[in-house]
Amino acid sequence: MTLTFQNLRKQYGSHLAIDDVSVHFEPGLVHGVIGPNGAGKSTLVNMTAGSYVVSGGEIRLDGKTLSGLKKYQIANSGVARTYQNIRLFDQMTVLENLEVCFYPTQVGQVWREILWPPFATARRKERTRACMELLSFFDLQNYADAEAGSLPYGRQRMLEIARALVMNPRVLLLDEPAAGLNHHETAELTARLAELKSPDRIMIVIEHDMDLVMTVCDRIVVMHHGKLLFQGTPAEVQASSDVQLAYLGTANDLDDIKAAAQDRRTQLGIRARRRS
């Protein structure tokens, strides 16, 4: 099983957000996608999951072309994702958020559920059991009957990942799963992600939290201005001068950034003194 981006392009009007990107993603590994704001990371996830149409090139899973398929067809091919901004069903309970995603993928199963009550009962039990197991994995079992929208932010992030896992996806796409988490929650997430690694699953994690990326990822893709800047192991990425430049700019830029930050601190200090 491989997921392949082949000469991928995405154009928003006249803006080229993804420019000729080719990457292979392998199962059993966690692939990190990093890059400065606006580099095109979420656009890659949105195209893979079918939320955005590709402007050029191809996305293939196991040789089957995903680009051009509808969102539900891509989901049924085994691709699941989370969002940069959490999107839960706020009014539903935590358990229901998972159960709605546990749907029969074959028409035959749908008819059996409708026409044969014992089968429907067995399916319902299996659904609840599988969803509770996932909730326990994310330490959410005590929230099962709570409204999803009432959960603390960190728990909502975990619930979103749990929901993406309900159909046991072959490809798991996580768009900034650590965004807004505190240090303790990020450590918990890092441990969970490491446990989710499986020979049957391709994991792609977009993240700005470099501790998480360097700990959990086996391979890292670095995006910059819509282009693939670098790919390699965490050690190779850390040693790359191209990557350092993309994040920090040139040595002169760095001096300018430091001077601007100092300037800003001085201004804030003056304002604070005036107020007191």
In the complex, the residues that contact ligand ATP under the rule CB under 6 A are 12, 17, 35, 37-43, 84
Q: Give the one residue of 10, 23, 42, 170 binding Mg ion; rule: CB under 5 A.
A: 42
Contacts of 266 (CB under 8 A, 6+ apart): none
Q: State the nearest-atom distance from the C-beta of 113 to ligand ATP, in Å.
A: 38
Q: State the nearest-atom distance from the C-beta of 206 to ligand ATP, in Å.
A: 7
For residues 205 and 46, give the distance between their C-alpha atoms in angstroms, rounded to a whole number: 13
For residues 110 and 116, give the distance between their C-alpha atoms in angstroms, rounded to a whole number: 10
Q: Residue 50 binds what, of Mg ion, ligand ATP, none (CB under 5 to 8 Å, by partner type)?
A: none
Q: Residue 37 binds what, of ligand ATP, Mg ion, none (CB under 5 to 8 Å, by partner type)?
A: ligand ATP
- Amino acid sitting at position 193: L
Q: Which residue is nearest to Mg ion (CB)?
A: 42
DSSP-based three-state secondary structure for 213 = helix
Q: State the nearest-atom distance from the C-beta of 125 to ligand ATP, in Å.
A: 40
Q: Which stretch binds Mg ion (CB under 5 A): 80-88, 139-147, 166-174, 255-263?
A: 80-88
Q: Output 43 or 156, the one with its CB closest to ligand ATP.
A: 43
DSSP label at residue 220: E
Q: State the nearest-atom distance from the C-beta of 46 to Mg ion, in Å.
A: 9
For 26-66, the DSSP string reads -TTSEEEEE-STTSSHHHHHHHHTTSS--SEEEEEETTEE-
Kindly state the number of chain residues that form the binding site for Mg ion, as judged by CB under 5 A.
3
Q: State the nearest-atom distance from the C-beta of 49 to ligand ATP, in Å.
A: 13
- The answer to whether the CB of 121 falls within 8 A of the CB of 130 is no
